[in-house]
Amino acid sequence: MLLDGKTGLIIGVANKHSIAWAIAQSAASQGAKLFFNYQGERLRENVEELIATMPGAKAFPCDVGDDAQIAALMQNVGKETPKIDFLVHSVAFAPREELTGQFVNTTRQGFATALDVSAYSLVAVTKAALPLMTDGGSVVTLTYLGAERVVPHYNVMGVAKAALEATVRYLAHDLGPKNIRVNAISAGPIKTLAARGVSGISKMVDHHREFAPLRRATEQGEVGDTALFLVSPLGRGITGEVIYVDGGYHILGSLASPD
Ligand SMILES: NC(=O)c1ccc[n+]([C@@H]2O[C@H](COP(=O)([O-])OP(=O)(O)OC[C@H]3O[C@@H](n4cnc5c(N)ncnc54)[C@H](O)[C@@H]3O)[C@@H](O)[C@H]2O)c1
Which atom of ligand 1 is nearest the CA belonging to 195? 1
Q: Kindly name the residue from 154, 170, 244, 249 that is annotated as catalytic.
A: 154
Q: Which domain holds residue 102?
A: 7-250
Is 79 contained in some domain? yes
Higher-scoring residue by pLDDT: 135, 197: 135
CA of 102 to the centre of ligand 1 (A): 22
Give the count of domains, the chain. 1
Pairwise CA distance, residues 172 & 181, whole Å: 6
Is 96 contained in some domain? yes
Pocket flag, ligand 1, residue 14 (CB < 6 Å):
yes
CATH of the domain at 236: 3.40.50.720
Q: What is the pLDDT of residue 251?
A: 97
Is 86 contained in some domain? yes
Q: Kindly name the residue from 38, 120, 144, 249 that is annotated as catalytic.
A: 144
Is 256 contained in some domain? no
Is 2 contained in some domain? no
Contact partners, residue 100, CB within 8 Å, separation at least 6: 153, 199
Pocket flag, ligand 1, residue 36 (CB < 6 Å):
no
> Which residue's CA is the nearest one to ligand 1's atom 26?
91
pLDDT, tens digit, 9 for 90 and up, residues 20-78: 999 999 999 999 999 999 999 999 999 999 999 999 999 999 999 999 999 999 999 99
Q: What is the pTM of this model?
A: 0.98
- How does residue 197 score in pLDDT terms, banded at 50, 70 and 90? confident
- Of all helices (H) and strands (E), which one includes residue 9? strand 7-11
Q: Is 207 exposed, middle or buried (0-12, 13-18, 19+ CB in 10 A)?
A: middle
- Of all helices (H) and strands (E), which one includes residue 228? helix 220-231
Pocket flag, ligand 1, residue 201 (CB < 6 Å):
no
CA–CA distances in Å: residue 118 to residues 3, 32, 114 = 27, 26, 6
154 is a catalytic site residue: yes
170 is a catalytic site residue: no
Is 50 contained in some domain? yes
Is 217 contained in some domain? yes
pLDDT, tens digit, 9 for 90 and up, residues 140-178: 999 999 999 999 999 999 999 999 999 999 999 999 999
pLDDT at 255 over 90: no
Is 255 contained in some domain? no
